[in-house]
Amino acid sequence: MEYILGHKSGGCIFCPPATTEHDRELLLLHRGRHSLVMMNRYPYNNGHLLVFPARHVPDLDGLSLEEATDLVGMVRSSLGVLREAMHPEGFNVGLNLGRVAGAGIEEHVHFHLVPRWNGDTNMMTVIGEVRVIPEHLLATYDKLRPLFQRLQAD
């Protein structure tokens, strides 16, 4: 209901303000040199992350080699954080380019990282077309944030 009734800004969610004071409310976990990581506000599963370039580009072709290397490196690092914090049995890692390919926000390229566990699809998803997330988003954020802060220190 917060999403349905809340104020919708016209800006790109992948272009956060330069200041870090609202990172928790934006679910922004990490700001790297060329890449950022945020939690998906409407996750498929607990720990669903979005990894994206700092620069606003619609596809991989728009990235420099340095930016693309940093982006894939951040995907790898984020998978490591999720393994350590959540112990998933697998992952879905995806990139949707273009609306017909499933991109909800096609103006800013981004990877989806979805931790998976055996049996994580239940009857609510299959029959009711509803997702049940067992942990509050901010609780997951508070679990993951220190691990991403550790990445910045390395």
- Annotated catalytic residue, options 30, 48, 108, 110: 110
Residue 1 counted as domain residue? no
Using alpha carbons, select from 8, 22, 11 the residue that is nearest to residue 108: 11
**DSSP bridge pairs for 35:** 53
Beta strands across the sheet bearing 28-31: 28-31, 35-39, 49-53, 111-116, 90-95
- Is the model's pTM score more than 0.75? yes
Q: Any idea of the CA torsion for 32, 28, 120, 124, to the nearest 10 degrees? A: -150
51: CATH? 3.30.428.10
One-letter amino acid of 51: V
Residue 5 counted as domain residue? no
CB 51 within 8 A of CB 37: yes
Residue 14 counted as domain residue? no
pLDDT exceeds 50 at position 73: yes
Tokens of 53: 């370039």
Residue 95 counted as domain residue? yes
**Catalytic residue status for 56:** no
Residue 26 counted as domain residue? yes
Residue 74 counted as domain residue? yes
pLDDT at 122: 54
Q: How many structural domains is the chain composed of?
A: 1
Q: What are 45-57's pLDDT values in tens digits? A: 899 999 999 999 9
* Domain with 55 in it: 20-142
